[in-house]
């Protein structure tokens, strides 16, 4: 069923929204309580005219919520219950118990659905509970559960735990600061050492070493020997060439008679 919200509805929407809900939920709860109206064509047409009134009503509701918040924010209420071993309650503290105690202490009525509590309180001690009075108005109260002695012991344990947490956080912060100082000091020392090394051993170009006369002499002798060897090998190559020519000529003279003999034989 489509309905138009006249009031904010937790988890569903705010005044002026059109939402879809189960028929029974609308007929048995939303419509009779004036939280919503049916989203008929007529109501949708008149919605724009009602937006101004809705906005005005929201401003009024927010103002009232802020007034209540100013009264209950950061205050404490005490609820007692029988507990067993380890401070576990035999029963439980519910949202209804909390709003009843607020009403008893401050004479203020608060819808229990506005109390933000994931599950009933089942442990002796100090519990912080938030109450959503309006979209952006969410005061916090301290719910003290147990006998005065149990509450005092729980508060002392909470105080000690908070002090330990603060000391641990401070120690970690100091350790981090020391680490930064040591790193900065190490970096400064490295820079100083580098500067000192540059002063004692400045950068300069090393000239190329020239070979001395003693090294030059053997090299020149080796070159001369190579040249002499080359000159000696040259005549030998010429002699070889002449011998090859003579052999070629000799072979040619030997072949010619053979050819003539062959010719004469044929003639015979």
| DSSP symbols for the chain | -EEEESS-BTTTB-TT-EEE--HHHIIIIITTTTSEEE--HHHHHHHHHHHHHHHHHHHHHHHHHHHHHHHHTT-EEEE---B-GGGEEEEEE-HHHHHHHHHHHH-----GGGEE-SS-EEESEEEEEEE-SBTTB--EEEEEES-HHHHHHHHHHHHHHHHHHHHHHHHHHHHHHHHHHHHHHHHHHHHHHHHHHHHHS---PPPPPPPPHHHHHHHHHHHHHHHHHHHHHHHHHHHHHHHHHHHHHHHHHHHHHHHHHHHHHHH-
What's residue 80's pLDDT?
Answer: 84
Q: Which parts of the chain sit beneath pLDDT 50?
A: 252, 254-268
Tell me what pLDDT residue 266 has. Answer: 42
pTM: 0.50
Domains and CATH numbers, the chain: 2-71 (3.40.5.10)
């Amino acid at each position: 069923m489509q309905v138009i919200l006249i009031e904010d509805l937790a988890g569903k929407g705010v005044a002026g929204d059109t939402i879809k809900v189960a028929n029974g939920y609308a007929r048995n709860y939303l419509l009779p309580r004036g939280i919503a109206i049916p989203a008929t064509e007529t109501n949708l047409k008149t919605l724009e005219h009602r937006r101004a009134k809705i906005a005005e009503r929201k401003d009024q509701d927010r103002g009232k919520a802020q007034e209540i918040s100013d009264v209950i924010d950061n205050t404490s209420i005490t609820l007692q219950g029988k507990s067993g071993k380890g401070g576990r309650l035999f029963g439980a503290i519910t949202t209804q118990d909390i709003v009843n105690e607020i009403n008893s202490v401050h004479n203020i009525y608060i819808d229990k659905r506005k109390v933000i509590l994931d599950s009933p309180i089942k442990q002796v001690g100090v519990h912080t509970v938030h109450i959503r009075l309006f979209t952006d108005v969410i005061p916090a109260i301290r719910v003290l559960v147990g006998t005065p002695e149990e509450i005092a012991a729980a508060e002392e344990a909470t105080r000690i735990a908070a002090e330990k947490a603060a000391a641990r956080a401070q120690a970690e912060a100091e350790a981090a600061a020391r680490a930064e100082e040591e790193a900065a000091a190490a970096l400064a020392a490295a820079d100083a050492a580098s500067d000192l090394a540059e002063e004692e051993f400045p950068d300069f170009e090393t000239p190329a070493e020239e070979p001395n006369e003693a090294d030059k002499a053997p090299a020149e002798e080796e070159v001369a020997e190579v040249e002499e060897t080359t000159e000696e090998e040259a005549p030998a190559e010429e002699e070889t060439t002449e011998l090859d020519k003579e052999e070629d000529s000799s072979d040619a003279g030997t072949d010619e008679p053979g050819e003539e003999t062959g010719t004469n034989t044929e003639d015979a």
